[in-house]
Structure formats: C-alpha cells, structure tokens
Structure 1
C-alpha cells in the first residue's frame, strides 16, 4: 500500500500538470488575441508592436529603453517596432527633456481610441467567460496570477 505522502505528492503532480496545461492554453489564446487585436488597430501592425503600443498608452508616456526592460526584448527589436508604430501614426516621439539621447513615446489619440475599443471587447469576453465565478474564486485566481507574475 502506498504511503499517504506518496499519494498526496501524486495528486499535487497531477494537479500541477493540469494547471500547466491550462496555462499553456492561456498563453496560446493570448498570442492569438494579440494578433487579432493588432490587426484591428492596423492591418500592418504586428503583435509585438501591439503589446508595445498598449504599454505606451497605459503608461501615458515611456521610452524605448523602459519598454525593452519591461518586455525583456532586445533594444533593436523595440527600436524597429517603435519605428513601425511611428510610421503607422500610432505613436508620437519627442526628445526627452532630461536626456537628449532618449525619445519620449506617446500614443496618438487615434491609437488610444482604437485601443479603448479593443480593451472594451476584451473586457466583455473576460466577463462572459468568468460569469459563474464567485468573488472569492476571482480573488483566489488573482492571487495565483500575482504569485506567478512575481516568480
């Protein structure tokens, strides 16, 4: 007969494997959602550009160095995406008042409006998918996501 600790460990391993599988599905869905959202903003916008644009809009203003750190992306990748965002008239760039080597990036009003529409649709989808959860269950899920983000 198996020891109680062994059974508990197997249960934890099974639960963890199921959790990891669902997490992988969430990442796949997120990539698909970024691609769809980017196309809604502009047909030539890439998912990486969409993520940067959304972050710039959320922050109000930022610079390429901060974006590279936030997304753990190579500065050259961020630079290319920023250039594309400028060419698509989704962001504006101006010299940083404190450091002339840096450019301050802000989302254009048109980009902010388009992002608001996309976010509204995302919120509706999310609300529809979690309708049956109690506030306590939502707080537990939020705790799990916070722990994962801090890991």
Structure 2
C-alpha cells in the first residue's frame, strides 16, 4: 500500500471518529449520557449475565479497565454483581431494571443515529458501507492477535 493511501486512510478515519463524537468522554455518538464503553457494556449485558472477564474480553478491554468500568456501572445502579450458582467464588454481572432501561435507550438512540447516517448515503452504497465496516473489523481483530 502506498504511503499516500495510508495517509488518506488515516486522515479519513480520524475525521470519521471526530464526526461521530467519539472523543466526548461522557456522551455516546447517539447522544446517550454515558461513555461509549458503558453503552457497549449495557447492550452486551442485555443478552444475559456474564462474568466480568468475559465482558472485558467482548469489549477488548484489559482487566483493570474492565474493573473500573464495572465499578462505575454498579455505582450508577445499572449493574449488580451476583454469585455464580456454578462457582461460589465467581460473580456474575446482571443488569438492574434501571440498567435495562438505560440499555434500551442506547439501542433506540443508536438505531436512530445509524438510520440517519444511512439516510445520507445513496441506498445503492449501503451494502458497500456495511462490507467496508466488516473488513475494518476483521483487519482490526487480526491486528490485535
């Protein structure tokens, strides 16, 4: 790949990140009053209880970052730690009612924001945009190994 392409990709990617609002620490790109990590954790926990380590793995976060994130979710009243019935020493993270409500709000806001983005793109290009995102995700995962 030419350095010109790398430079163009870097500039375009950084501009995209900024345009989404990902640099705001206390607000998601869809406008939810929480960090992006909190929003992702809540939406993952909608699927059911998880061990903290598994949540961190799904979010690609280190142990200490996951611990701080989980502590914050507990403090906000969105998550509770419960004993794992299969392992008395382990704790499962589950959403509280307030956490479920917050997660649902995030899902709705995200859907509205992404629909608005797609509305500004020619429908004939939607599949290409989705494919490009999949390719970037795969490349990112390969790079993390």
Residue 118 (str. 1) matches residue 106 (str. 2):
yes
Structure 1 residue 34: Cα displacement: 6.4
Unaligned residue ranges in structure 1 (runs of 5+): 1-8
Greater relative contact order (CA < 8 Å, ≥ 6 in sequence)? 2
Structure 1 residue 100: Cα displacement: 2.5
Q: 1:149 to 1:81 in 2, by over 3 A?
A: same
Instruction: Choose between structure 1 and 2: higher helix proportion.
Output: 1
Residue equivalent to 2:142: none
Task: Tell me which structure has the larger Cα radius of gyration.
Answer: 1
Residue equivalent to 1:127: 115
Q: Tell me the TM-score normalized by structure 2.
A: 0.73
Residue 77 (str. 1) matches residue 65 (str. 2):
yes
Residue 107 (str. 1) matches residue 95 (str. 2):
yes
Q: Tell me the TM-score normalized by structure 1.
A: 0.70
Instruction: Choose between structure 1 and 2: higher strand proportion.
Output: 2
Structure 1 residue 33: Cα displacement: 6.2
Q: Detail structure 1 runs of 4+ shifted over 6 Å in the superposition.
A: none
Unaligned residue ranges in structure 2 (runs of 5+): 140-145
Give distance in 1, aligned partners of 2:126 and 2:14: 20
Contact kept in structure 1, 2:43 and 2:103, CA below 8 Å: yes
